[in-house]
Structure 1
Amino acid sequence: MKKPCLLVLIPLVESDHVELGERFEVIYAPDADTRAQAVARHGKDVRVVLTNGTTGLTADEIDSMPALELAGALGAGYENLALDHARERGIALCNGAGVNADCVADHALALLLCAVRAVPQFDAACRTGVWRDALPMRPTVSGRRLGIVGYGHIGEKVARRAAGFGMELGYHSRRPREGAMARYFETLLALAQWSDFLVVATPGGEQTQHLIDRAVIEALGPDGFLVNVSRGSVVDTAALAVALKAGTLGGAGLDVYEGEPQPPAALIGLDNIVLTPHVAGTSPDVRTATVRHFAANAARHFAGEALLTPL
């Protein structure tokens, strides 16, 4: 039986190619030039697309693929997929929700610890021979109030890790979650006012654009810390930069930021922020698991079975 044609729009490593090549005829187009050429040349044959939330899939591209029947986002995000257009065509949609949640939650706590305890700054000082007596003491993390914005797979795992630090837990999402181990706040502003630390783990997209704005940042206050492991668009970068420079926010840790992959110019010169290049959800074992999860979704689709993680 002929293998279905898969168009891959994101970078893969060799093991990913091997994994997918066993199940699909793979067309690899991980950059803008090869993507346009692949859609123009092979669009009529493509039955499956693999992308991610940042790279997305446009309505015009969907229209160029008359045989397309399944589009998948490798990670949890899907903000740049033309979902409504795909649904109008009857195209099945899936993502990798929950597969990398442990890794992202680990990284969120790492960013929080690094920002609050000034680990990068202390590391740099130690390397130049500066001893602790010349350095300011930093706050304790344990026992503080942690607010979580978005209580999905990642938010819940952040809460479980934070509980190990003896933190009080609160969260805000569109609706209360049954069985949540944290206190629900009806408004984000109320959560920020209550919190010492705020971890952002909500989906990206138009509905959450600049959800973390000047008012929320000001509510956290000069002793507060912000961590973002969701999407850069969720935080107002300009407002964050102003607050960090003025000292009206204690510090921040960001794995994502507006304008990726360009470095956040307004932030890179500041010493009260820790930046990582959108790596929270990546590790060798997570990568293997996400590719296999996508392949399992595709296998279920072609078998006429329900998808594991439909959109």
Structure 2
Amino acid sequence: MSGLRIVADENIPALEDYFGDLGTLVRVPGRNLQREQLLDADVLLVRSVTRVNAALLAGTPVRFVGSCTIGTDHLDTGWLEAQGIPWSAAPGCNANSVVEYVFCALAALDIDWRGKSFGIVGCGNVGGLLQQRLHALDIDCAIYDPWLPDNPDAAALATVLAQDVICLHAPLVKDGPHPSRHLIGRAQLEQIKDDATLISAGRGAVVDCTALRDLLRAGKRFTTVLDVWENEPDIDTGLLELVDLGTPHIAGYSLDGKLAGTRMIRAALSAALSLPDHSDAAAGGGVKSGRTELLSRPTVAPTAFAAMAELLLQIYDPRADDRRLREAATGAQPMAQAFDRLRREYPERLELSHYSLDATTLDTALRQQLAALGLQ
């Protein structure tokens, strides 16, 4: 054992399994982490709720920072690099979870995506996987990502906002040539068709949420799905009342995605500090290997979109997350605390690949679509 002292966000799963062999683990609430808790720490493991910068780390012995999430806007990477502190995030770890959230949200709202056109803002790990999934489903899409001008589906932002389903997966970039904060402001929101659907599952501040609230309150009619919000965890409950589906930043919260993030950061830590590699076979916190059988016959006509929606919602129904968030917003606990509690106590959610279906009663087209979505 190398005897490292590792301070980690208590919400990172399988910490003991993936880091217990390295030394002492100290679990802390990530949102309220203080510099004093790091005065004897060698390694800091966080999620997106912890701001990692000079104020937190200056003068501490921390020599590696790992974020078990896809984004980096909470890390002052320039300062870390200037101090010679290696760092890593986990890009792509929960991409599949977010893509499945998109389709389950549409199913929950009874929006048949077959024959719809899609627009994607931000075509990194999540947006790129969604693009692949749409191509597999033979669905047209337009992509706005100024960092990827050669994408075969590249289009102007106005073209993307003119599609039937608009999915926002851009990272939060505050400066540089292509800032994304409030990229979708009032003018852009006004361009969205009244019969369209807007799904925001990247970073909350990519949308001007005040402008969105005001437009919805004034009668703008497009369907709105928000998983991410400005000013998390103290979100705008007035906006929550107006959206069609609201969830507490959990689109990427499948157990598969969480464990992938933990696994990626352990690999990065081992590489940065020349530590032994970790064997997944030694971890007791892996995703369940067994598959769960679904209904062999949907209760509705097997050729209908409703059959596909029913099967998806048996696996993950985001309306349950919506209900919990709305109940929390009207409860006695302050919104910020309730929002964090919902994320901390989030129930186990497995991805579609863990479920199988006897599809012999379904027509070929529907079987192909279910397979493209990831169902076995």
How does the TM-score come out when normalised to structure 2?
Answer: 0.66
Letter of the structure 2 residue corresponding to residue 284 of structure 1: L
Match of 1:88 among 82, 85, 93: 82
Letter of the structure 2 residue corresponding to residue 69 of structure 1: R
Letter of the structure 2 residue corresponding to residue 55 of structure 1: T
Change (3 A) 1:169 1:4: same
The answer to whether the 8 Å contact 2:53/2:80 transfers is no
Change (3 A) 1:77 1:12: same
Deviating more after overlay: 155-164 vs 69-78:
155-164
Q: Aligned equivalents of 1:26 and 1:87: distance in 2?
A: 25
Q: Does 1:54 align with 2:79?
A: no
**Runs of 5+ unmatched residues, structure 2:** 277-376
Q: Aligned equivalents of 1:227 and 1:303: distance in 2?
A: 42
Q: Aligned equivalents of 1:282 and 1:41: distance in 2?
A: 27
Q: Aligned equivalents of 2:213 and 2:136: distance in 1?
A: 31
Question: Which residues of 2 match residues 43-82 of structure 1 at below 5 A?
Answer: 43=39, 45-65=40-60, 67-82=61-76
Change (3 A) 1:113 1:246: farther
Letter of the structure 1 residue corresponding to residue 2 of structure 2: K
**Offset at residue 54 of structure 1 (A):** 2.8
Residue 119 of structure 2 aligns to a residue in which SS? strand
Q: Aligned equivalents of 1:64 and 1:108: distance in 2?
A: 43
Letter of the structure 2 residue corresponding to residue 58 of structure 1: N
Q: Does 1:183 align with 2:153?
A: yes
**RMSD over aligned Cα, in angstroms?**
2.3
The answer to whether the 8 Å contact 1:10/1:52 transfers is no
- The residue aligned with 1:5 is 5
**Runs of 5+ unmatched residues, structure 1:** 118-138, 306-311
- The residue aligned with 1:19 is 18
Residue 238 of structure 2 aligns to a residue in which SS? coil
The answer to whether the 8 Å contact 2:72/2:89 transfers is yes
**Offset at residue 240 of structure 1 (A):** 1.4
Deviating more after overlay: 296-305 vs 51-60:
296-305
The answer to whether the 8 Å contact 1:40/1:64 transfers is no
Question: Which residues of 2 match residues 1-311 of structure 1 at below 5 A?
Answer: 1-13=1-13, 15-31=14-30, 35-36=33-34, 39-40=35-36, 42-43=38-39, 45-65=40-60, 67-115=61-109, 117=110, 140-176=112-148, 180=151, 182-185=152-155, 187-193=156-162, 195-206=163-174, 207-270=179-242, 273-303=244-274
* 1:95-138: CA deviation from partner (whole Å, max 9, x where unpaired): 110111111111122223434x2xxxxxxxxxxxxxxxxxxxxx
The answer to whether the 8 Å contact 1:105/1:158 transfers is yes
The answer to whether the 8 Å contact 2:2/2:22 transfers is no
Q: Aligned equivalents of 1:107 and 1:95: distance in 2?
A: 22
**Offset at residue 19 of structure 1 (A):** 2.6
* 1:65-116: CA deviation from partner (whole Å, max 9, x where unpaired): 1x3222111110121212111111011121110111111111122223434x
The answer to whether the 8 Å contact 1:146/1:167 transfers is yes
Matched-pair identity in %: 24
**Offset at residue 276 of structure 1 (A):** 1.3
Q: Aligned equivalents of 1:167 and 1:249: distance in 2?
A: 24
**Offset at residue 160 of structure 1 (A):** 2.2
Change (3 A) 1:31 1:169: closer
Q: How many residues align?
A: 272
Residue 243 of structure 1 aligns to a residue in which SS? helix
* 1:200-258: CA deviation from partner (whole Å, max 9, x where unpaired): 11112423211111111111121221101101111111221223233434111111111
The answer to whether the 8 Å contact 1:80/1:205 transfers is no
Deviating more after overlay: 252-261 vs 161-170:
161-170
Residue 91 of structure 1 aligns to a residue in which SS? coil
The answer to whether the 8 Å contact 1:145/1:197 transfers is yes
Q: Aligned equivalents of 1:261 and 1:213: distance in 2?
A: 21
The answer to whether the 8 Å contact 1:141/1:165 transfers is no
Q: Aligned equivalents of 2:98 and 2:31: distance in 1?
A: 28
- The residue aligned with 1:124 is none
Residue 72 of structure 1 aligns to a residue in which SS? strand
- The residue aligned with 2:279 is none
